[in-house]
Structure 1
Amino acid sequence: MTERLTIRRPDDWHLHLRDGAMLRAVLPETARHFARAIIMPNLVPPVVTGADATAYRDRIMAALPEGMQFTPLMTLYLTEQTDPDDVAAAHASGLITAVKLYPAGATTNSQSGVRNLDHVRPVLERMAEIGLPLCIHGEVTDPATDIFDREEAFLNGVLRPLTQEIPDLKITLEHITTHHGIRFVREAEGDVAGTITTHHLMINRNHMLAGGIRPHYYCLPIVKRASHQRALIAAATSGDPRFFLGTDSAPHLDHAKISECGCAGVFSAPNTMSCLAQLFEEYEALDKLEAFTSLNGPARYGLPVNEETITLEKRDTPCNYPAKYHTPDGTLTLFDPTVPLYWHVLD
């Protein structure tokens, strides 16, 4: 049985770092294990222009503790007022790695997102021309659509027509949560890949709802049935280069999670690699872990793989990650994978 595993240093292809005190609290937890991350732009106000992205990148680097190495891969928040020339210039300069599409109202701080794709078509067409990827939160926001069906509805009603109309647009379907999403990526006519989160691999909606509501498992897209979870695990552990890790680690302070209208988001950056090693071992796929965490994403985004490595070691004693992390504004709770974790990331 494998007791120690060394892989290329992983990257996170979907990460929320927030800003201010929260940024300073959570950034070291990602930089400890991950070399790079696609940084989500849904701040208040959002990161819309190249100038916004430059300023945010500077704040991230200023918050990085001395001695740590980390590269933020910046994105722009797509709005119906986004200037195609500004996007192209930010891409040409090397400032941004992708543009993020939030359907307006789909998730945290998405109010400035897109309501009508026709209004952003010039931007999408320019992105297809220059090879700039579009990262998509794939859910409809129609209140008549059940929350557990919103990903499937988006795939059929929005994404499929988009891939047919602009087939050269490079799309990352983020945080896939259903077997419909997995099948869509595998059968897509256009240039489509997908990220899968740590928590959607580890839990399903029973963990969130059975025996009492657990607000720290509430996220968007919401966790689905166990059958969907099994489809995600099969894709992640398959070695298929179209699927790779995007943690969607999304910290919220406890008082914002545990409230009358709790925030959506799971903070998983610190224990992701331990979770994944344990899961991949359970499914006899430890030999595929490096592809999912460290190889497929760079290949998709046209970046070199990391030269550095990390080593994981399986021990008899479980990992001892803190349950709570502290900021000057309050505490936040680490994702609980529901089982003890025995794969330790070595310093």
Structure 2
Amino acid sequence: MQTITLRRPDDWHLHLRDGAMLEGVIGDTSRHFARAIIMPNLVPPVVTTADAKSYRERIMAALPAGDRFEPLMTLYLTEQTSPDDVEAGKESGLITAVKLYPAGATTNSHGGVRDIEKAMPVLERMARIGLPLCVHGEVTTPDVDIFDREAVFIETVLDPLRKRLPELKVTMEHVTTKDGIDYIKASKANLAGSITTHHLIINRNAILVGGIRPHYYCLPVAKREHHRLALRAAAVSGDPRFFLGTDSAPHVDPLKECACGCAGVYTSINTMSCLAHVFEDEDALDKLEAFSSLNGPAWYGLPVNAETITLVRREEEVRFPAKIETGAGPVTVFDPMFALHWDVA
């Protein structure tokens, strides 16, 4: 197969940042993607509907001329979040989901939830009005190994929450383990998972073998090879509970290449080329549209995009810049460590 035409894809987990960084990266998403769920972990975070409205306006102002792109806004869940404000945000059509960050789990998550009980009034309201909860599925207690955080979160936080509120619609974002895949598969209703581009390609060796490679460091951190293979199997299966959420997360190089580097991998610019390579490897190019363009809209109750994109397999290698330059500074682009031949025409 030398060409593939897909419904225009969506990104169901994206970091756009703000200010000069937002202006520098948004075009890499809007060039290929019609919609994206926008993460709210700014400084300060997007905690109210008014915050989300203001942030959406800044996103639209930064959009390159002529690009058609819809940011789907989320709220950052805190222990003080107002159920009434969340419901008003949903009713206005502005708010697509609420994001649960366990405090300290990832970038700018220090204001997240420490005691899930204090967030229950909001979660109960969300269950009643049908507003999805997106979760960063890791515990942050110091006695839990970083490679076990996802499995422990499922056991100690997510499963009890879902038993208590079975009608709450939950997206496990950036699933990284076989445990997470198996838990979603075993669920009968109201649970789905997004999978990133880079977790389909790298395992933890990419970060640690031959020296520390900070541009492969992300949270949740990449795991062992058997977990990566489980993610690939789920992504190419066509199972409607799994869909693309890149978790593309730009940081300027000085904040990655330092003694305490930031977590995040920047994949917006080359995600579709990388995914086509992965799905071709798995002899599953016929399932790429489901993963990138169909399953996510079905889960979030949105129409499939009417527009299409076409991927062409080139004889010569398709090259992407090693870095992009933004007004905030240089950002290193994800290197999949293999030659790419699929190109968005």
TM over 0.5: yes
| C-alpha contact 1:105 1:111 (8 A) present in aligned 2 | yes
Decide which moves more: 310-319 or 189-198. 189-198
Are positions 1:60 and 2:59 aligned together? yes
Are positions 1:325 and 2:338 aligned together? no
Identical residues among aligned pairs (%): 67
Q: What is the DSSP-based 3-state SS (H/G/I as helix, E as strand, rest coil) of the residue aligned with 2:309?
A: strand
Are positions 1:148 and 2:147 aligned together? yes
| CA distance, structure 2, for counterparts of residue 148 and residue 278 of structure 1 | 27
| CA distance, structure 2, for counterparts of residue 284 and residue 4 of structure 1 | 15
Residue of structure 2 in register with 1:41 after alignment: 40
| C-alpha contact 1:163 1:190 (8 A) present in aligned 2 | no
Are positions 1:5 and 2:9 aligned together? no
Pairwise CA distance, 1:339: 0.4
Q: What is the DSSP-based 3-state SS (H/G/I as helix, E as strand, rest coil) of the residue aligned with 1:67?
A: coil
Unaligned runs of 5+ in 1: none
| CA distance, structure 2, for counterparts of residue 54 and residue 318 of structure 1 | 41
Per-residue displacement from partner, 1:220-277 (whole Å, max 9, x unpaired)? Answer: 0000001100000000000000000000000000000001100000000010000000
Stretches of 4+ moved more than 3 A in 1?
A: none
Residue of structure 1 in register with 2:156 after alignment: 157
Decide which moves more: 206-215 or 248-257. 206-215
Residue of structure 2 in register with 1:97 after alignment: 96
Q: What is the DSSP-based 3-state SS (H/G/I as helix, E as strand, rest coil) of the residue aligned with 1:263?
A: coil
Q: What is the DSSP-based 3-state SS (H/G/I as helix, E as strand, rest coil) of the residue aligned with 2:171?
A: strand
Residue of structure 2 in register with 1:114 after alignment: 113
Decide which moves more: 267-276 or 326-335. 326-335
Pairwise CA distance, 1:329: 2.6
| CA distance, structure 2, for counterparts of residue 307 and residue 132 of structure 1 | 25
| CA distance, structure 1, for counterparts of residue 86 and residue 110 of structure 2 | 20
Are positions 1:18 and 2:6 aligned together? no
Q: What is the DSSP-based 3-state SS (H/G/I as helix, E as strand, rest coil) of the residue aligned with 2:254?
A: helix
| CA distance, structure 1, for counterparts of residue 15 and residue 259 of structure 2 | 23
The residue type paired with residue 81 of structure 2 is T
| CA distance, structure 2, for counterparts of residue 190 and residue 275 of structure 1 | 31
Pairwise CA distance, 1:330: 1.4
| CA distance, structure 2, for counterparts of residue 328 and residue 164 of structure 1 | 46
Residue of structure 2 in register with 1:194 after alignment: 193
| C-alpha contact 1:254 1:333 (8 A) present in aligned 2 | yes
Pairwise CA distance, 1:98: 0.3
Decide which moves more: 183-192 or 336-345. 183-192
| Distance change (3 Å), C-alpha of 1:190 and 1:163 | farther
Per-residue displacement from partner, 1:284-328 (whole Å, max 9, x unpaired)? Answer: 000000000000000000000000000000011111111110012
Are positions 1:172 and 2:171 aligned together? yes
| CA distance, structure 2, for counterparts of residue 328 and residue 266 of structure 1 | 18
Residue of structure 2 in register with 1:316 after alignment: 315
Pairwise CA distance, 1:188: 2.3
* Superposition map of 1:277-316 within 5 A: 277-316=276-315
TM-score, length basis structure 1: 0.99
Decide which moves more: 44-53 or 204-213. 204-213
| Distance change (3 Å), C-alpha of 1:262 and 1:112 | same
Pairwise CA distance, 1:65: 1.1
| CA distance, structure 2, for counterparts of residue 142 and residue 61 of structure 1 | 38
Pairwise CA distance, 1:190: 4.8
Decide which moves more: 7-16 or 315-324. 315-324
| C-alpha contact 1:164 1:189 (8 A) present in aligned 2 | no
| CA distance, structure 2, for counterparts of residue 190 and residue 231 of structure 1 | 21
Residue of structure 1 in register with 2:333 after alignment: 334
| C-alpha contact 1:163 1:189 (8 A) present in aligned 2 | no
Residue of structure 2 in register with 1:126 after alignment: 125
| C-alpha contact 1:167 1:189 (8 A) present in aligned 2 | no
Are positions 1:223 and 2:222 aligned together? yes
| CA distance, structure 2, for counterparts of residue 266 and residue 260 of structure 1 | 17
Pairwise CA distance, 1:191: 1.1
The residue type paired with residue 214 of structure 2 is P
| C-alpha contact 1:164 1:190 (8 A) present in aligned 2 | no
Q: What is the DSSP-based 3-state SS (H/G/I as helix, E as strand, rest coil) of the residue aligned with 1:52?
A: helix
How many positions carry a matched residue from both structures? 345
Q: What is the DSSP-based 3-state SS (H/G/I as helix, E as strand, rest coil) of the residue aligned with 1:97?
A: strand
| C-alpha contact 1:249 1:269 (8 A) present in aligned 2 | yes
TM-score, length basis structure 2: 0.99
| Distance change (3 Å), C-alpha of 1:172 and 1:99 | same
Unaligned runs of 5+ in 2: none
Pairwise CA distance, 1:110: 0.2
